[in-house]
Structure 1
Amino acid sequence: MADHGRRRFLTYLVAAPTLAVATRFGLDGVDPPTAQAVVPTPPAPADLVDLGDVLILAGAPTAGMLVLGIGEDGLVRFRLPREEVGQGLTTAVAMLVAEELDVPLSQVRVELDDARPELLFNQLTGSSNSIRSLYDPVRHTAAAARARMVAAAADRWGVPAGGLTTRGGAVVAPDGRTAAYGSLATAAAAPALGVPAATPKPESAHTLVGTPTSRIDARAMVTGRQEYTLDLDVPGAKPCMVRRPPTLGGTVKAVRNEAAVRAMPGVLDVVVIPTGVAVVAETFGQALDGKNALDVAWGAGTVDTLSDDGIRARLRAATAPLVVPPLLTAHLDAEFDFAFVSHAPLETNSAVADVRADRATIWSGLKSPIVAQQTIAAAVGLPVDKVTVHVVQAGGSFGRRLFFDAALEAAQVSKAGGRPVRLMWSRIDDTRHGRMRPATHHKIRATFALGQVLSFEHRVAAVETDFRHGLGEILTATAASLPPGIGNAGFAQTLFLTTVKSPYHFGLTTQVLTEVPLKMPTASWRSVYSANTRGAEEIVVDELAAKLGKDPVAFRRAFLKTAAQRAVLDKVAAEGGWGRDMPAGCAQGVGFHEEYKSRTACLVELDARDPGNPRVTKAVIAVDVGRPVNPRGLEAQLLGGLTDAISTTLRAGLHIDKGLPLEGSYSQFRYARQKDSPPEVRIFVLPATGEPGGAGELGVPAAVGAIANAYARATGTRPRRFPVNFDVDFTPFPR
């Protein structure tokens, strides 16, 4: 990757009555943001490159095109070219800004930026990459603003800037004089102001970054003041809902009773769009009544003949063969199946759209707003620069909002009807027709002799993941700069190869992905390939330890590659009391995972005395992310990963029946409830070193392995199909 020592920041002013600083971040000898001119240093070996490195490389030419303003009120406003979906990003970025500017956190406002196509590949939120990619650029931008404040004060007082300091949102002179940032904002914006070079503080001087900090939006969320898409007051925007086909990918052949539905109370319009039939009404209740009353003749879907058994059979048939012959030495074989899983964010898909003849405006929770803008512009027949896309804070994502289905539908309905609309997916829509984590089949073989693992083969077959949200373009753009075997792979292969890595010295290790191209609405789900792939591997690691007569923790410790990996494992073993006596039907389990320059270990205790209703009763997690910006936010990420793992390992999945998921709500998609959460969870964040690693995806795979291993020890049954309890114990909603 590019050498951080060669990076430079160019500061310029944005026209404004008070200070508005922007930085452009590039490489020595490069005129940013010309992407073609960037010549990175030779890539690291394939086993050292992760997806975050790829995304950072792709975004490098525009990484510093950030805007920060300070007004006469003293408030600092930073435009964030990423999406906040509950992961705490706005808080972490506000901490970075406050740290560099020496202002109280309460004076920082982080606002989500609109779609900015000039950012090229640098406005996608995903792959645990936001803090990794923003850490340096945000600090440099804030440092540049601080330097201008100091320069303005020095000019006002007629003293050298080198003798001034900053504290509490003010510039302080050696004689005790102070000037609040607000009073300097206008002078600091003067283009002729002489400003010394600005550099961020050394990490050793940080007083806020690295300190556990509560979210800046927490009060707004718990009091109902936080505005989500459907809370926005867009004049004239009318409620809209869509009647969707009875199978995935179905099409509209005819609406048999359109006139009758149009005559219903409050109904304003009925519009056929590619994904169904939309009803626009005065209220959402009337829109819902109208869509339920529609009599639609549907065309066939894309997978009408397929159900779970048929999909599993296709995956098994597509799984690449194992290479090492099992007769040469002692071996362990295992096969696993993981079901489809809904993203199930609390806020369903929603968008507001106002499409006119000459322009369009969209509001939605979007993690890939540039691609959304481009796609919507093409769909409504407008130039991209005539489509404004406002990014709105969203209530959860887990990968779901990389796609912009609701925004596209809202734009199509608005154009056809000639009025602004507020489109909402119902919970049933979101569960059945929303995007899902693909089902996977895994085949693993490990060979061993004399206490050593000689080879470890993992073959994965997965229903194809849709990457048309912009990641594919990023991977294509950076392919030439990646190591052989990665840069020339397909989208899915590149993502798989840059995220799934074994942390163990297991001899000849190979991990191979085969995708089955079924036309289903899939998307990256938290931890993407790693949740299943590394989760399955951690189960096999436990079984290998048993074959070799070793304790699972001691076995892992012996084969882990680095001291940093062993440190998190040692921490959970010590803090979790590994090996303590447990009642019959209860057991401990452990798992490990490393990804995105971070590593974690998870130890759980599970009560399976009722095997049909097992419960995790305790979890201990240790994590090393290099340099945590907000340890409290990091703890929340890991707790979320643990909850996802509890859900999808034990009960939560989607049954596909003749082309449609049976599940249609939270009452049927068995995501963990409060009663399923461990009464005791302890999370240990290891001391800071180096630069930040990623955290959003990190917590799921280790917890999947730990829970499955505890279940196996508690019940004496080695789980091979997930979730382990997956009965259709509900009456499906009508199609």
Structure 2
Amino acid sequence: MTDQGSAPAQGAAGADRAAAGSADGADHAGRRPAGASRRSFLTYLVAAPTLALVTRAGADALAPQAAHAVIPTLPAIADLVDLGDLFILAGAPTSALLALAVETDGTIRFRLPREEVGQGLTTAVAMLVAEELDAPLASVRVELDDARPELLFNQLTGSSNSIRSLYGPVRQCAATARARLVAAAAARWKVSPSGLTTANGVVRAPDGRTADYGSLSAAAAAPGLIVLGASPKPAAKHALVGTPTSRIDARAMVTGAQKYTLDLQVPGAKPCVVRRPPSLGGSVRSVANLAAVQAMPGVLHVVTVPTGVAVVAETFGQALDAKAALQVSWGPGPADQLSDAQIRTKLRAANPAPLLPPLLTPYVDAEFDFAFVSHAPMETNSAIADVREDRAEIWSGLKSPIVARETIAADLGLPLSKVTVHVVQAGGSFGRRLFFDAALEAARISKACRRPVRLMWTRVDDTRHGRMRPATYHRIRATHLLGEVLSFEHRVAAAETDFRHGLGEIITATVASLPSGIGNATLAQTLFLTTVKSPYHFGLTTQALTEVPTGIPTGSWRSVYSANTRGAEEIVVDELAAATGKDPYRFRRTFLKTEAQRAVLDKVAAEGEWGRAMPAGCAQGIAFHEEYKSRTACLVEIDTRDPEHVRVTKAVIAVDVGLPVNPRGLEAQMIGGLTDAISTTLRAGLHLDKGLPLEGSYSQFHWAKQRDTPRDVRVFVLPATGTEPGGAGELGVPAAVGAIANAWARATGSKPRSFPLDFDVDFTPYPR
């Protein structure tokens, strides 16, 4: 569920901590000087010799959308509020606590309290800063902030919410900086600031005098400077925002200069790997050959932690050899008796038949199974930890760093003030880095070894022992009569999703004060009700979730409940169209609720030549999805003539996000969602066998390779239809799932019911 990286960028999203270091006093390893803290950093900003500010949390500095996030007291509250609204409401009190600095050379540094995982967030935020400051984009440096507990609920990256929640506050912060620079120039020239203009990092007077921002930065920091009110530009005056822009870190990614967690040079940190149990959540009973392994070349430490046996060595190769040599006796895990068949039985038992009887009306019934799915980011779990008796310092790719810091401090028995957590850009996430498993594990190992460690999860570790999207089972019944849909009931049973990464706290704190509606729902149901909504006028529509505890480690996966739930619904929409003798595109168009929804559907139908003749075994599919104040439609063409290699050959996508900040980034997001949908609809899933996934690598997990993706992909970003941006990171998956499944159904004449469609164990599993 998250702001997610596009599939082409999975392995190309790292972090340059050397650049970040110059803004916060850190050295080139990203380490702070002794005694430095977040409080001292903020104090430094406010008292800096050049312009450096932390915008205040006053009403004039809050995001415009914060005012819109007032929750109405209505019975149908879930129909009016989405999860992003809850996030914005929860984060509003601290949304303006942003830090920006202008240096004497004109460099603008902005500290971003979110995570970059390949979704292009740093580029979009840099565009907002450059737009409001009237500065060149190349002069803006966006650096990831450390964990900042004072932000409360305002540092979690997820639910397609980063741009939605940051759009107002970032612009206000940059506009405030611009106002101070203009005021400094006015004071220097003894003129009214109202007559000055800014462009390309320069303040210009009517008589032709100019001053660049760097030369004004010291004067702009003067406490006594009189500054006029600062207001962000209206969208109509945007020159950069809304323009397709390439990633600001693209060169570093393609040249290998981008730094990931394990690229950081932390003095004394030694390579570390962990021997993990043969079933999920198993425990260590004993190690039979501990002394022999400790004597192996390069081995420095062998220690037991709750998640397995850790080996620290001089090189990763030596650590891996020692890990393989360990002879461990294991205790059972909580899911040892569970395999796919047992999970399916549990979910079906929790999901009774729909309550609404069809009576005398025609109806469509459908049941669907979706397998467990790995997040599969290109960069596996990793972290660096340096734990001492009186302090700890952690580096990792983290989307929920505040909860990570709090949890690690409690686990180590240290005061929160003695634990520093650095957020590092990560190579993909798709929800995986909402959890901080590697950071906590590295901290425990470092404490046990009394030295810094560089922990790496292997690909097998990440695939088998990482968290996964829960398996789900769906029952749908839709009744219709004389071309009208009278009712649409969808019941979902899912393996329980773990929300202990911070999202749960945000939802709980936000909805606790609501007098009705979602305020009375459970945590999972709240998330379900605020993300899964039917876009169609389908009479009496009900959607319900039941979660089943399994002991299997789960986590939010891109689109969370929507990918499966709305994907299944879009399949049934096609079957309803067939049952009523209607064309699938025209049927959707008839029942969609708004003109904005119909606009994206019409766009893909026109651009994709819906209804064109195709060879036998080939077909088109179409689907629609709306979420997080954004909407999209997807049309695909599929070739099933080779059953061993079913391919999506073409895709046309239209997307409306209200106000697009970076259309090129949106294209990448939608292509990423398409790739995720191709993978999980056709071949990618996890087989659970006696408490452990059989898959252990990309080759076994069958994620879509380049040859499996369409050569012809066109993404149409609709012009601005609103004044604020909607969410995009998770938007693209559900419609693509529906479109691919519908194309497959039309091409094969079969009804898709179990996903992925091709789910054979056609590989030899790695040993446990």
TM-score category of the 2 structures, normalised to the smaller one: over 0.9
The one-letter code matched in structure 1 to 2:743 is A
Of the structure 1 ranges 212-221 and 314-323, higher mean CA displacement relative to structure 2 is found in 314-323
* 1:710 maps to 2:743: yes
Cα deviation for residue 488 of structure 1 reads: 1.7
Q: Could you tell me whether the CA contact under 8 Å between 2:50 and 2:220 is conserved in 1?
A: yes
| Inter-partner Cα distance in structure 2 for 1:250 and 1:616 | 40
Partner residue in 2 for 1:697: 730
CA 1:409 to 1:12, structure 2 compared with 1: closer, same or farther past 3 Å? Answer: closer
CA 1:26 to 1:543, structure 2 compared with 1: closer, same or farther past 3 Å? Answer: farther
* 1:191 maps to 2:223: yes
Superposition pairs for residues 667-682 of structure 1, below 5 Å?
Answer: 667-682=699-714
Partner residue in 2 for 1:4: none
Secondary structure class of the residue paired with 1:732 = coil
**Structure 2 unmatched ranges of 5 or more:** 1-42
Cα deviation for residue 689 of structure 1 reads: 2.3
CA 1:39 to 1:707, structure 2 compared with 1: closer, same or farther past 3 Å? Answer: closer
Partner residue in 1 for 2:759: 726
Partner residue in 1 for 2:459: 427
The one-letter code matched in structure 2 to 1:371 is V
Partner residue in 1 for 2:380: 348
Deviations 1:208-235 (A, max 9, x none): 0000000000100000000110000000
| Inter-partner Cα distance in structure 2 for 1:714 and 1:20 | 60
Q: Could you tell me whether the CA contact under 8 Å between 1:320 and 1:460 is conserved in 2?
A: no
Cα deviation for residue 13 of structure 1 reads: 6.2
The one-letter code matched in structure 2 to 1:416 is A
Q: Could you tell me whether the CA contact under 8 Å between 2:532 and 2:565 is conserved in 1?
A: yes
| Inter-partner Cα distance in structure 2 for 1:215 and 1:718 | 41
TM-score normalised by length of structure 1: 0.96
Partner residue in 1 for 2:103: 71
* 1:631 maps to 2:666: no
| Inter-partner Cα distance in structure 2 for 1:133 and 1:227 | 27
| Inter-partner Cα distance in structure 2 for 1:598 and 1:118 | 31
| Inter-partner Cα distance in structure 2 for 1:141 and 1:712 | 51
Secondary structure class of the residue paired with 2:654 = strand
The one-letter code matched in structure 2 to 1:683 is V
Cα deviation for residue 491 of structure 1 reads: 1.2
Partner residue in 1 for 2:522: 490
Superposition pairs for residues 95-244 of structure 1, below 5 Å?
Answer: 95-244=127-276
The one-letter code matched in structure 2 to 1:568 is V
| Inter-partner Cα distance in structure 2 for 1:641 and 1:229 | 25
| Inter-partner Cα distance in structure 2 for 1:328 and 1:495 | 35
Cα deviation for residue 326 of structure 1 reads: 2.3
Partner residue in 1 for 2:315: 283
Partner residue in 1 for 2:305: 273
* 1:438 maps to 2:470: yes
Partner residue in 2 for 1:535: 567
Deviations 1:652-707 (A, max 9, x none): 00000010000000110000000011010011111102210000000000000000
Deviations 1:518-562 (A, max 9, x none): 111100000000000000000000000000000000000000000
Secondary structure class of the residue paired with 1:486 = helix
Deviations 1:311-361 (A, max 9, x none): 001100001441111233111100000000000000000000000111100
| Inter-partner Cα distance in structure 2 for 1:309 and 1:265 | 44
Cα deviation for residue 39 of structure 1 reads: 11
Q: Could you tell me whether the CA contact under 8 Å between 2:687 and 2:694 is conserved in 1?
A: yes
Deviations 1:573-630 (A, max 9, x none): 0000000000000000001000000000000000011233210000000000000000
Partner residue in 2 for 1:22: 54
Partner residue in 2 for 1:311: 343
| Inter-partner Cα distance in structure 1 for 2:536 and 2:258 | 45
Q: Could you tell me whether the CA contact under 8 Å between 2:51 and 2:101 is conserved in 1?
A: yes
The one-letter code matched in structure 2 to 1:54 is L
| Inter-partner Cα distance in structure 1 for 2:71 and 2:645 | 53
Query: Which gives a bigger RCO, structure 1 or 2 (Cα 8 Å, sep 6+)?
Result: 2
Cα deviation for residue 46 of structure 1 reads: 2.3
Partner residue in 2 for 1:574: 606
Cα deviation for residue 365 of structure 1 reads: 0.2
Of the structure 1 ranges 249-258 and 315-324, higher mean CA displacement relative to structure 2 is found in 315-324
Secondary structure class of the residue paired with 2:710 = coil
Secondary structure class of the residue paired with 2:317 = helix
CA 1:13 to 1:152, structure 2 compared with 1: closer, same or farther past 3 Å? Answer: farther
| Inter-partner Cα distance in structure 2 for 1:528 and 1:330 | 32
Partner residue in 2 for 1:554: 586
Cα deviation for residue 401 of structure 1 reads: 0.1
CA 1:87 to 1:43, structure 2 compared with 1: closer, same or farther past 3 Å? Answer: farther
The one-letter code matched in structure 2 to 1:701 is P
The one-letter code matched in structure 1 to 2:749 is G
| Inter-partner Cα distance in structure 2 for 1:39 and 1:734 | 51
| Inter-partner Cα distance in structure 2 for 1:31 and 1:219 | 34
Deviations 1:272-300 (A, max 9, x none): 11000100000000111111111111000
Q: Could you tell me whether the CA contact under 8 Å between 2:69 and 2:85 is conserved in 1?
A: no
* 1:92 maps to 2:124: yes
Partner residue in 2 for 1:388: 420
Deviations 1:419-461 (A, max 9, x none): 0000000000000000000000000000010110000000000
Partner residue in 2 for 1:620: 652
The one-letter code matched in structure 1 to 2:587 is F
TM-score normalised by length of structure 2: 0.92
Q: Could you tell me whether the CA contact under 8 Å between 1:365 and 1:391 is conserved in 2?
A: yes
Q: Could you tell me whether the CA contact under 8 Å between 1:25 and 1:137 is conserved in 2?
A: no
Secondary structure class of the residue paired with 2:735 = helix
Partner residue in 1 for 2:35: none
CA 1:144 to 1:12, structure 2 compared with 1: closer, same or farther past 3 Å? Answer: farther
The one-letter code matched in structure 2 to 1:696 is G
| Inter-partner Cα distance in structure 1 for 2:540 and 2:704 | 38
Cα deviation for residue 25 of structure 1 reads: 3.2
Q: Could you tell me whether the CA contact under 8 Å between 1:616 and 1:646 is conserved in 2?
A: yes
Report how many residues are paired.
721
Cα deviation for residue 40 of structure 1 reads: 4.3
Secondary structure class of the residue paired with 1:675 = helix
| Inter-partner Cα distance in structure 2 for 1:14 and 1:545 | 62
Q: Could you tell me whether the CA contact under 8 Å between 2:69 and 2:86 is conserved in 1?
A: no
Q: Could you tell me whether the CA contact under 8 Å between 2:405 and 2:419 is conserved in 1?
A: yes
CA 1:594 to 1:264, structure 2 compared with 1: closer, same or farther past 3 Å? Answer: same
The one-letter code matched in structure 1 to 2:756 is P
| Inter-partner Cα distance in structure 1 for 2:345 and 2:48 | 62
Deviations 1:373-428 (A, max 9, x none): 00000111101111000000000000000000000000000011100000000000
Deviations 1:11-37 (A, max 9, x none): 996121211111123448x999xx9x9
The one-letter code matched in structure 1 to 2:377 is P
| Inter-partner Cα distance in structure 1 for 2:741 and 2:300 | 52
* 1:80 maps to 2:112: yes
Partner residue in 2 for 1:331: 363
* 1:60 maps to 2:92: yes
Secondary structure class of the residue paired with 1:620 = strand
Secondary structure class of the residue paired with 1:227 = coil
Partner residue in 2 for 1:8: none
Of the structure 1 ranges 190-199 and 609-618, higher mean CA displacement relative to structure 2 is found in 609-618
Alpha-carbon RMSD:
1.7
The one-letter code matched in structure 2 to 1:172 is R
Secondary structure class of the residue paired with 1:25 = coil
Cα deviation for residue 76 of structure 1 reads: 0.2
Q: Could you tell me whether the CA contact under 8 Å between 1:592 and 1:702 is conserved in 2?
A: yes
**Structure 1 unmatched ranges of 5 or more:** 1-10
Q: Could you tell me whether the CA contact under 8 Å between 1:320 and 1:514 is conserved in 2?
A: no
